Amino acid sequence: MKHVTFAEKSLLMGSAAADLLLNLMVESANTTVTEPNNHLAMGYMLERMQELNDPFSGIGESPTLPE
């Protein structure tokens, strides 16, 4: 199951349907323009995706609660 947000609307859909949606939204472009360096943006997106898949991965040990 995947969560898709588009134009301020959200919905849940099956993984295969979400992957198909992405394939329909992306198209190739023939251009002489140099491809931009998206290294930082891609790193940020991958980091956020990891946090969504495992939200407690960066927490470490459980905090000690005051008595």
pLDDT bin (cut points 50, 70, 90) of residue 65 is low
65 or 21, which is more confident: 21
For the segment 23-61, what is each residue's pLDDT rounded down to a tens digit? 777 777 788 988 889 889 888 988 888 887 777 776 666
Do residues 1 and 13 touch, judged by C-beta distance below 8 A? yes
Q: Using the predicted structure, report yes or no on whether residue 67 has a pLDDT greater than 80.
A: no
